[in-house]
Structure 1
Amino acid sequence: MSAAAIAFPERPERLYSLRELSEMGYGSRRTLQTRIHEGKVPAVLVNHAYKIRASDLHLLAEQVGCLATPVMTVDDLAELTAKVISTWPRLSDDRKAELSRLLAA
């Protein structure tokens, strides 16, 4: 096989050590090792140390779902606003009414 037949990429893909990924916030080294051993994240072994390709970093991110129901409804917020405004000692009744209208909008 001639040297011209071997194709090398122009730039090799970045490999991250588990220490680097841990410092970047992807979890502890132990957690990363566990994910590798469970087969959740592919890794390569370089000089007895695991490395993860830059193109596989998306596999380390966990999707976080949103709440199915709102924590506070609009009615709850309006009731809380009314309680705060009614107990505010330094406001005149006109100012309390004005603040109530502004917060309700």
Structure 2
Amino acid sequence: MSNDDLYKVSLDLLNGKLLSSQNKDIIYAPGNNTSHYRGGLYTKNNHYESKGNGYGYCNFLRISKDGQNAVILQSTDSSRYGDLSNSADKIYADLFGK
């Protein structure tokens, strides 16, 4: 999936094109899951994030809850997974605040 595709699918998910608003609210509502992982996304205070790693490839998405701001990093160097995840967090915070 390209960066554009990942953004478009994530935006459609958040804007009710893939899920109804009611279902989205149910899936991403606060719960007792301490990692706040629901429906493929980690729920943070003002954004969602996802991350993946496999077959030497990794990707990181940070997207605002309204879908208007996003940072996407993808790499074929999965040996730097932790560094890249931290970089995605820093870029998002620098651009859009925490």
Do the two structures share a fold, i.e. TM-score over 0.5? no
Please report the TM-score for the alignment, with normalisation by the length of structure 1: 0.23
Judging by fraction of residues, say which structure has more helix: 1
Over alpha carbons, which structure has the higher Rg?
A: 1
Judging by fraction of residues, say which structure has more strand: 2
Please report the TM-score for the alignment, with normalisation by the length of structure 2: 0.24
